[in-house]
Amino acid sequence: MQKPAATSRLRRWRLPAFAAVALAAYPCFVLGTVYWNFFQAGLPGGRNGPADAYRHSLASAIVGYTLSPRCVDWVSKVMENDGQGNASRAMDAHNNRIGARIGAAAPSWAAMLRDVRAAVEHGAVDAASTDQITWLAPSAWQDRLY
């Protein structure tokens, strides 16, 4: 007995559909976790300030912890143009690298969250060290998040 064509087509799409949902779940998890912590942090400077630095370093730490710092490097090259072009993108790429290192070295999820927050608390305007979180001067901060 032949199966109806509609059933056969549906079965062909199950695996690709499942794969698409699974692939979308990871970025949703990362972004949801980042923004949950971001809104609770109460840091100033949603764009170009400490809050922006926290958001980037935390997202990168989560990816470094759950996948690999190499994934963060790739995303930074694509999304931040690897820091080339302007101070804001350079700041983001810098903080992404630090976050990825924190995530990769963290012994636990709680330690990773704690270490990212501590790194931001010890950050500074235009930090020159590759080990220190940085942000722009307060005159460049914006409240918007995009």
Q: What is the 3-state secondary structure (H, E, C) of the chain?
A: CCCCHHHHHHHHHHHHHHHHHHHHHHHHHHHHHHHHHHHHHCCCCCECCHHHHHHHHHHHHHHHHHCCHHHHHHHHHHHCHHHCCCHHHHHHHHHHHHHHHHHHHCCCHHHHHHHHHHHHHCCEECCCCCCCCEECCHHHCECCCC
- Tell me: the pLDDT tens digits for 110-140? 999 999 999 999 999 999 899 999 999 999 9
How confident is the model at residue 6, as a pLDDT? 61
Mean pLDDT in residue range 62-71 = 94
Instruction: Determine, yes or no, domain membership for 91.
Output: yes
Instruction: Determine, yes or no, domain membership for 126.
Output: yes
More confident residue, 95 or 143: 95
Domain span holding position 110: 11-140
How confident is the model at residue 78, as a pLDDT? 82
Instruction: Determine, yes or no, domain membership for 6.
Output: no
Instruction: Determine, yes or no, domain membership for 2.
Output: no
Instruction: Determine, yes or no, domain membership for 50.
Output: yes
Q: What is the pTM of this model?
A: 0.84
